[in-house]
């Protein structure tokens, strides 16, 4: 399902493709490249917090480890 997200930084509307109605994780605006941590429930944006590149990298590492151990 394609969900529309309006960037709080530049007000550009972007899209995020989700397989579930809930999501919590990173989102990057396609136009201004600002990073955010978003939380969605029932395809509705519940929270959107600014995210630094360092925090984003840490989140990516954690997700990669989760995926690695999930396969076992």
Q: Under a CB-based contact definition with an 8 Å cutoff, are residues 29 and 12 in contact? A: yes
The pLDDT value recorded for residue 1 is: 80
- At residue 66, the pLDDT reads 86
- For residue 47, the cross-strand partners are 39
* Tally of CB atoms within 10 A around 64: 10
> Which residues, including other chains, have CB under 8 Å from residue 53's CB and lie 6 or more apart?
35
Indicate whether 12 pLDDT > 90: yes
State pLDDT tens for residues 23-72: 998 999 999 999 999 999 998 889 999 999 999 999 889 888 988 887 76
């Amino acid at each position: 399902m394609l969900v529309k997200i309006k960037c709080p930084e530049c007000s550009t509307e972007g899209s995020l493709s989700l397989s579930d109605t809930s999501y919590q994780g990173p989102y990057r605006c396609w136009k201004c490249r600002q990073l955010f941590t978003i939380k969605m429930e029932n395809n509705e944006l519940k929270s959107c917090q600014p995210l630094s590149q360092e925090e984003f990298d840490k989140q990516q590492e954690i997700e990669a480890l989760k995926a690695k151990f999930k396969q076992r």
